[in-house]
């Protein structure tokens, strides 16, 4: 039985009207004859239509797209389409975003090939999100109104599985109640915070008043209590340390309404000190000091959470009040007389005041070298347009500082100034020169694109060599099943055969989803020995995990890629590997 609705009719009318407009080129009308229709259903064992879902159809090779809303039967139609490859995605409040071809929540989708005049019918599965809810109380057992609650899902980030902050958060109401919905299946930790904004200009200390304080006040004492406290970031079921938080496992559409938390108060302290210039003298205006908390004090992965800053007086003094226990890094940085100066110090706070912290501004080190070009193009790139940067490589919760970038001169000479000590990758980009790619960035004989290098205090780095080439390798092939059929629902992973190169965000570790004809392609490859494997179910970024790569290596194809080579390697997988 056909049941038209106003919603789908409006969408179809809008699409039809757009198709009837007379374009300048009449051939455009003749080419827009394809139709894509489909149904959005639940991912249950007994699929049911999902009505009023938002379906987006976009060209896989462009940003242009169309949007429509499903009717009561979960149906949607896009008319007047050109031939090409399309991505189809679907969203709905309270549901997990999905796409055509996805076999599980957050699973990878597939592109949809559409020929001229073809009518393609698809089915898209989507799953209802899970929910976490509960009550947040303050230290007196009263509702904590306005507290921020976040659900952090375990995911692979930079090759490490850890709680990752997304948009899953809520604010408690007047009852202290919260509810976070639309969550993907997985493992979560939940934390609540009632601390004031670190950037608030009217930040005030919180003091606890005891019976002794009241008695002293009635006796005529006018001094306020000297015990300052803060509401600590508290993780379920009741710890202030994120690594000790309980793990909450959720399936699709699951609901946990018993995740209650009681905010804990911790004693706070004052951190003060001085910033000094190398040659002494009054501090110029504009110098600031930042106090950055480690992941144990702040919400992991939440930008600027646990970050505070304050100005430095003319005598070099600075102070932070209301600092909760934890590990911090104090950072000072200034540009004086065209020279970048820096200072840093680790600070441990345990409830007692930290006084006399000394930050001596020091001129940063320099990293200098040359840019070279290796290639066959008769037109070399303009070296004066090359942008050189240093990318900090953090270890654990260490705080990193990003030095300012630099450009090279016409001869390819460059100098990066004001570089603090630390571990870095040397990188460079060449705007507007798509033919040329960064081949290597060598410091002391080591390619820093593969292995970071260390800048030590009072030691400048000289003789760095950055090389661009127009002869980067290309690897392509077709993914097939054992019977010869092409496969498009797998992810092809390329990674180095040498495990020492399995580093987070390595340029040698790549992934690609095959096109509708089963073809996968990896461009701009550095030469080397590689492993090539295919997997049907993998989370984004999980291919940087050494444990995953070890499993894939056992069933991979070994391949050598030479510089500038355009190589083809087909991959056939058995039914047991799907």
User: Half-sphere exposure of 275 toward its Cβ, with a 13 Å CA cutoff?
Assistant: 28
Residue 8: its H or E element:
helix 6-20
Query: Angle 522-502-456 (CA atoms, 0-180°, nearest 5)?
Result: 115
* Local confidence pLDDT in tens for the 578 residues of the chain: 344 433 333 333 333 333 444 444 444 444 789 999 999 999 988 999 999 999 999 986 555 689 999 999 999 999 999 988 898 999 999 999 999 988 889 888 888 889 999 999 999 999 999 999 999 999 889 999 999 999 999 988 766 788 887 788 999 999 999 999 999 999 999 999 885 543 333 445 556 666 666 666 667 665 555 667 777 889 999 988 878 899 999 999 999 999 999 998 888 889 999 999 887 777 888 888 998 887 656 666 665 567 788 999 989 999 998 888 888 889 888 877 677 788 888 899 888 899 999 999 888 899 999 999 988 887 788 899 999 999 988 765 556 667 788 999 999 999 998 898 889 999 999 887 678 899 999 999 999 999 999 999 889 999 999 999 999 999 999 999 988 899 888 899 999 999 999 988 899 999 998 887 899 999 999 999 999 999 987 888 889 989 999 999 998 999 999 999 999 999 998 755 55
| Domain 473-577: CATH architecture, name and number where available | Sandwich (2.60)
Given this model, what pLDDT does residue 22 score? 43
| Domain 365-469: CATH architecture, name and number where available | Sandwich (2.60)
**d(Cα 38, Cα 109) in Å, to the nearest integer?**
15
Residue pair 275/285 in contact (Cβ under 8 Å)? The answer is no
Residue pair 115/169 in contact (Cβ under 8 Å)? The answer is no
User: Would you say the CATH fold of 130-195+233-266 matches that of 6-128?
Assistant: yes
Given this model, what pLDDT does residue 504 score? 82
Q: Would the pTM of this model clear 0.85, i.e. be above it?
A: no
Chain center to CA of 391: 16
Given this model, what pLDDT does residue 164 score? 83
**d(Cα 293, Cα 334) in Å, to the nearest integer?**
21
Given this model, what pLDDT does residue 23 score? 46
Strands 206-207 and 160-164: unpaired
**d(Cα 228, Cα 63) in Å, to the nearest integer?**
54
**d(Cα 531, Cα 511) in Å, to the nearest integer?**
12
Strand-pair partners of 54: 69, 91
Residue for token pair 């797209």: 65
Fold of domain 268-363: Immunoglobulin-like (2.60.40)
Q: What are the sequence ranges of the domains in the chain?
A: 6-128, 130-195+233-266, 268-363, 365-469, 473-577
For 187, phi and psi rounded to 5 degrees? -100, 135
DSSP label of 544: G
| Domain 6-128: CATH architecture, name and number where available | Sandwich (2.60)
| CATH number for the segment(s) 130-195+233-266 | 2.60.40.1120
- DSSP character string of 435-498: T-EEEEEEETTEETTTS-EEEPTT--EEEEEEEEES--EEEEEEEEETTS-B--SSEEEEEESS
Residue pair 68/37 in contact (Cβ under 8 Å)? The answer is no
Given this model, what pLDDT does residue 61 score? 58
DSSP label of 233: P
**d(Cα 162, Cα 20) in Å, to the nearest integer?**
52
CA trace torsion 207, 212, 213, 219 (10° rounding): 180
Given this model, what pLDDT does residue 432 score? 74
The pair of structure tokens assigned to 48 is 């049911």
């Amino acid at each position: 039985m056909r049941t038209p609705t106003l919603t789908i009719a409006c969408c179809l009318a809008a699409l039809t009207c757009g198709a009837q407009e007379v374009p300048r080129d009449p051939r455009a009308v003749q080419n827009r004859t394809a139709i894509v229709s489909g149904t959005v259903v639940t991912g249950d064992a007994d699929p049911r239509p999902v009505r009023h879902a938002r379906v987006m159809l976009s060209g896989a090779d462009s940003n242009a797209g169309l949007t429509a809303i499903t009717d009561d039967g979960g149906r949607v139609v896009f008319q007047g389409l050109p031939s090409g490859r399309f991505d189809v995605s679907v969203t709905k409040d309270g549901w997990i975003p999905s796409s055509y071809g996805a076999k599980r929540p957050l699973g990878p989708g597939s592109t949809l090939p559409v020929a001229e005049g073809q009518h393609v019918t698809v089915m898209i599965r989507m799953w209802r999100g899970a929910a976490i809810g509960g009550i947040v109380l303050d230290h007196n057992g009263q509702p904590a109104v306005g507290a921020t609650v976040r659900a952090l899902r375990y995911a692979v980030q930079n090759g490490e599985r850890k709680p990752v902050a997304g948009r899953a958060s809520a604010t408690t109401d007047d009852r202290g109640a919260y509810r976070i919905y639309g969550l993907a299946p997985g493992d979560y930790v939940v934390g609540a915070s009632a601390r004031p904004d670190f950037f608030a200009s009217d930040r005030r200390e919180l003091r606890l008043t005891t019976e002794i304080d009241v008695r002293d006040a009635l006796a005529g004492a006018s001094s306020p209590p000297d015990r300052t406290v803060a509401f600590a970031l508290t993780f379920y079921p009741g710890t202030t340390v994120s690594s000790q938080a309980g793990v909450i496992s959720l399936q699709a559409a699951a609901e946990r309404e018993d995740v209650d938390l009681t905010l804990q108060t911790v004693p706070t302290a004052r951190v003060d000190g001085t910033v000094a210039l190398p040659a002494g003298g009054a501090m110029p205006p504009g110098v600031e000091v930042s106090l950055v908390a480690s992941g144990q004090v702040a919400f992991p992965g939440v930008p600027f959470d646990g970050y505070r800053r304050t100005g430095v007086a003319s005598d070099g003094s600075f102070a932070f009040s209301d600092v909760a226990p934890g590990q911090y890094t104090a950072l000072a940085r200034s540009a004086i007389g065209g020279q970048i100066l820096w200072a840093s110090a680790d600070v441990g706070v345990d409830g007692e005041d930290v006084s006399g912290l000394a930050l001596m501004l020091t001129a940063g080190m320099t990293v200098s070298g040359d840019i070279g070009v290796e290639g066959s193009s008769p037109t070399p790139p303009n070296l004066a347009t090359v942008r050189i940067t240093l990318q900090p490589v953090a270890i654990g919760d260490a705080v990193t500082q990003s030095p300012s970038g630099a450009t090279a001169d016409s001869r390819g000479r460059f100098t990066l100034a004001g570089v603090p000590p630390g571990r870095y990758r040397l990188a460079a980009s060449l705007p507007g020169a798509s033919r040329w790619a960064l081949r290597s960035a060598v410091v002391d004989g080591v390619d820093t694109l593969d292995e970071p290098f260390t800048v030590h205090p009072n030691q400048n780095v000289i003789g760095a060599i950055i090389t661009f080439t127009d002869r980067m390798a290309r690897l392509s092939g077709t993914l097939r099943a054992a019977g010869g059929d092409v496969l498009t629902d797998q992810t092809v992973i390329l990674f180095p055969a040498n495990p020492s190169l399995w580093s987070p965000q390595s340029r040698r570790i790549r992934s690609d989803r095959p096109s509708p004809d089963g073809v996968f392609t990896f461009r701009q490859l550095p030469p080397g020995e590689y492993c090539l494997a295919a997997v049907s179910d993998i989370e984004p970024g999980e291919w940087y995990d050494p444990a995953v790569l070890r499993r894939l290596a056992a069933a991979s194809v070994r391949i050598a890629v030479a510089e500038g080579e355009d190589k083809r390697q087909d991959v056939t997988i058995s039914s047991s590997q799907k």
